[in-house]
Amino acid sequence: MKAWVLHDIGDFRYEDREKPELADDEVLVHVKAAGICGSDVPRIYQTGAHNMPLVPGHEFSGVVEAVGSKASEISIGKRVGIFPLIPCGTCPMCETEHYEMCSHYDYLGSRRDGGFSEYVAVPKRCLVPLPDSVSFEQGAMIEPTAVAAHAMRRVSFEKNENIVILGLGTIGMLLLYVLLDAGYENVYVIGNKDKQKERVLAAGLSLDRFCDSRTEEEESWIREKTGSGADVVFECVGRNETVSKAVELTAPMARVVFVGNPASDMTLERNTYWQILRRQLIITGTWNSSFAVTNGDDWSYIIERMGSGVFHPEQLITQRLKFDELEKGLLIMRDKTEDYCKVMIAGD
């Protein structure tokens, strides 16, 4: 089979490999679609992975081609999405089904071989059946969309409260999709690219809810729109200046959700800390997504919404590439040579 293998930082090769041998509780998935996550870029070109050589890729879907001896109940030919986090099953968080916070997890695409390969060995507990109405591209987008849904569901807020999304990368845009799909109307977004305006319009939000931070002072703009500031702010960038900005945008008693992965070490300015105290803000983080193989978790929620036929986050796919063109997609994202939101790779 063919696979993209990370041998060392920056040493990323398209090469022949043997198909993976299955453990008893694993299935062999033939990958049909794989998305490139923003975290794949530094993993391949800057920091390396936890274990190398490694096949990266954690956003993917495919078809079951073979099963281990303890996975015989899984049908050959079954269409599946993949929850990439492999929980230990025994730590306190696993015992309460908060698998995303497992203390001893494994992970497809960062700790063991993932989806940038023709075939992947996947534990059967990580399989997510895809309804016929959900395409393989949509299946590959369940993971990042569930991350956005998890962020939305981390805090309680009413439909009439003022919501701000700060940062319109892939997760910020997916968060806009899930908020609008859930019926939240008073949503305001802050971005800094012309193409983001087009995506906001395509999502169903009017441009008078878009603040272009290149030409507008964000805090003044939000207070003009809302009166007292935002009741909920989702920070989707992960930089010092945007963390401080998220706090500045708040109304008293607001909630701030930190979503963006940190781009560097973070520091908290004295004035920002004072605002947290004086406005009595609730600050929370969000990580990954819930997957309990039961109705009500983030994955079940997103699959149900995708299957409804009215929820289409795959509209955010900006590049569709063949499997052997995967590195082209990574370089577009690394070097920003083209506008992009979600780069999708198609298997055969």
Q: In terms of residue numbers, what domain contains 86?
A: 2-146+289-346
Same domain membership, residue 243 and residue 131 = no
Same domain membership, residue 169 and residue 120 = no
Q: Which amino acid is at 150?
A: H
Residue 108: strand pairing partners: 112
Same domain membership, residue 172 and residue 131 = no
Q: What are phi and psi of 338, to 5 degrees?
A: -140, 155
Other CB atoms within a 10 A radius of the CB of residue 15 amount to: 11
Number of domains in the chain: 2
Q: What is the pLDDT of residue 292?
A: 77
Sign of CA dihedral 190, 195, 199, 205: positive
> How many whole angstroms separate alpha carbon 107 and alpha carbon 222?
39
Q: What is the pLDDT of residue 343?
A: 98
Q: What is the pLDDT of residue 293?
A: 62
Q: What are phi and psi of 202, to 5 degrees?
A: -65, -30
User: 27-50: buried (b, 16+ CB within 10 Å) or exposed (e) per residue?
Assistant: bbbbbbbbbbbeebbebbbeebbe
Residue 33: strand pairing partners: 61, 346
Same domain membership, residue 299 and residue 242 = no
Same domain membership, residue 278 and residue 253 = yes
> How many whole angstroms separate alpha carbon 203 and alpha carbon 213?
20
Same domain membership, residue 267 and residue 323 = no
Same domain membership, residue 118 and residue 80 = yes
Boundary of a domain, candidates 285, 300, 319:
285
- Containing 144, the helix (H) or strand (E) segment is helix 136-152
Same domain membership, residue 97 and residue 34 = yes
Rounded alpha-carbon distances, angstroms, from residue 292 to 88, 93, 174, 187:
13, 12, 22, 29
> How many whole angstroms separate alpha carbon 294 and alpha carbon 7?
37
Could you tell me how many helices (H) and strands (E) the chain has, helices first? 10, 17
Boundary of a domain, candidates 267, 285, 303:
285
> How many whole angstroms separate alpha carbon 248 and alpha carbon 220?
10
Other CB atoms within a 10 A radius of the CB of residue 72 amount to: 11
CA 261 vs. chain centroid, Å, equals 11
CATH of the domain at 110: 3.90.180.10
Same domain membership, residue 135 and residue 6 = yes
CATH of the domain at 160: 3.40.50.720
Q: Which amino acid is at 275?
A: Q
Same domain membership, residue 61 and residue 82 = yes
Q: What is the pLDDT of residue 294?
A: 64
**Checking DSSP bridges between strand 2-8 and strand 11-16, what pairing results, if any?**
antiparallel
The reply to whether the predicted model has a pTM over 0.85 is yes
Same domain membership, residue 54 and residue 136 = yes
Boundary of a domain, candidates 285, 304, 332:
285
Same domain membership, residue 247 and residue 180 = yes
pLDDT tens-digit profile, the chain (348 residues): 999 999 999 999 999 999 999 999 999 999 999 999 999 999 999 999 999 999 999 999 999 999 999 999 999 999 999 999 999 999 999 999 999 999 999 999 999 999 999 999 999 999 999 999 999 999 999 999 999 999 999 998 999 999 999 999 999 999 999 999 999 999 999 999 999 999 999 999 999 999 999 999 999 999 999 999 999 999 999 999 999 999 999 999 999 999 999 988 999 999 999 999 999 999 999 999 999 766 689 999 999 999 988 899 999 999 999 999 999 999 999 999 999 999 999 977
Put residue 89 in one of left, alpha, beta given phi > 0 → left and psi -120 to 50 → alpha.
left
To the nearest 10°, report the CA torsion of 209, 215, 218, 224: -60
